[in-house]
Structure 1
Amino acid sequence: MDWHEVLGELMRARGAALKRYGYVLCGERAEADDLVQDALVRVFAQPRRSWDVESAERYVRRVMLNRYLDQHRRRARWRVLLPRLAAPTSTADFSAASGDRLDLVSALDVLSPRQRACAVLRFYEDLPVAEVADRLGCSPGTVKRHLSEAISRLGTTLVPTGHEGHGHAQ
């Protein structure tokens, strides 16, 4: 298959799954769409040997993950510089409007980018720890640490329905 056919088939068969993956990574639909588009451009802009849809999808997902982590690093640097450039216009606390329960995507916002990436790859993509480590370029032990921290943070953020304010009696 030439790259035009692979791209067309990839978007027909897996386009919605790629958008969901982007959404789980970043938590915003527009940013997820941008992640997908950017990854597709990066993957298919260079002529490559023949692709199949499965290998193209794996590569697009890897580019999406790397772009998400790169964007977060850039934003973090910008947040450090921004106070030096201008004073914030508002310091309003919006937490009161969030309600008693958070959905999963909102809960993922409490995680660091590495914790979030590990959790998404392990539990959403259902990858083994070794594959998560390979994709993130770190050791399996580092992935396990990030997953442990993520689970702990999510455990304090997500409260099952009917368990608010109740102890764990057995």
Structure 2
Amino acid sequence: MSTHSPADDGFRAFVEQQWGPLVRVAYLLTGDRGHAEDLVQAALEKTHRKWGRVSRMEAPVAYVRKAMVNTAISWRRRRRVSEVPLLATDSPPGSSGADAYGSIEQRQQVTAALRTLPPRMRAVLVLRYFADLGESEVAELLGCSVGTVKSQASRGLDRLRAHLNPVPERTRA
């Protein structure tokens, strides 16, 4: 006798296939590996309840991403993390490790800069540039206009640049 219901058909395989990519997106949204996993878990729980309908969608992963973004934005508690643990699985694909410290330092700086952004702006940047979604896809996912995505992305990139490349203050004579 099978222990899974018809609504579970394909859900386990979906989770196994998408877990890594979803955690990476969630990590950029939250800035913390543990919170990222919690976020993915919460989104998958919401998805599982509607899996019969979600599994017939053209892109079920888009539904999960939307659930992740909405959950991340709605979490009222601001979680502060003093350090960013890096795991072996966090290294970029195909990296030879030649300059492992430089890439880790750069990744930590970008992650720290992302955490300074408001949640919705952070979501736009993560979905647009990390998840490689188009402006219209991000707009649909976040329930806003393409213009809002463009302006949030532009402002967010400006803030990241300012955070990563601060202009030294001039000393007065």
Please give the alpha-carbon distance, in whole angstroms, between the structure 1 residues aligned to 2:28 and 2:77: 18
Sequence identity percentage: 36
- Where does the alignment leave 5 or more consecutive residues of structure 2 unmatched? 83-104, 169-173
Among residues 131, 137, 144, which one is paired with 2:137 in the alignment? 131
Please give the alpha-carbon distance, in whole angstroms, between the structure 2 residues aligned to 1:60 and 1:19: 11
Please give the alpha-carbon distance, in whole angstroms, between the structure 1 residues aligned to 2:122 and 2:53: 33
2:18 corresponding residue in structure 1: 14
SS in 2 for 1:126: coil
1:157 maps to a residue whose letter is: H
Distance 1:53 1:23, change over 3 A: farther
1:113 maps to a residue whose letter is: P
Would the aligned equivalents of 2:127 and 2:133 in 1 still touch at CA under 8 Å? yes
Among residues 104, 110, 114, which one is paired with 2:120 in the alignment? 114
Root-mean-square deviation (CA), in Å?
A: 2.8
Equivalent pairs, count: 138
1:80 corresponding residue in structure 2: none
Taking the TM superposition and a 5 Å limit, the aligned residue runs for 1:22-41 are: 22-41=26-45
Would the aligned equivalents of 2:43 and 2:68 in 1 still touch at CA under 8 Å? yes
Encode CA deviations 1:94-139: one digit per residue, 9 max, x unaligned: 8xxxxx9752111101211121011011101111111111111111
* Higher RCO (CA-CA < 8 Å; seq separation 6+): 2
TM-score (norm 2): 0.69
Would the aligned equivalents of 2:29 and 2:126 in 1 still touch at CA under 8 Å? yes
Q: CA deviation at 1:149?
A: 0.8
Distance 1:42 1:148, change over 3 A: same
Please give the alpha-carbon distance, in whole angstroms, between the structure 2 residues aligned to 1:14 and 1:53: 15
1:75 corresponding residue in structure 2: 77
Taking the TM superposition and a 5 Å limit, the aligned residue runs for 1:49-64 are: 49=53, 51=55, 55-64=59-68
1:139 maps to a residue whose letter is: S
Encode CA deviations 1:44-92: one digit per residue, 9 max, x unaligned: 1246247259733221111111101111xx237xxxxxxxxxxxxxxxx
1:79 corresponding residue in structure 2: none
SS in 1 for 2:133: coil
Would the aligned equivalents of 1:6 and 1:53 in 2 still touch at CA under 8 Å? no
Q: CA deviation at 1:4?
A: 2.5
Please give the alpha-carbon distance, in whole angstroms, between the structure 2 residues aligned to 1:38 and 1:157: 31
Encode CA deviations 1:131-162: one digit per residue, 9 max, x unaligned: 11111111111111111111111111124xxx
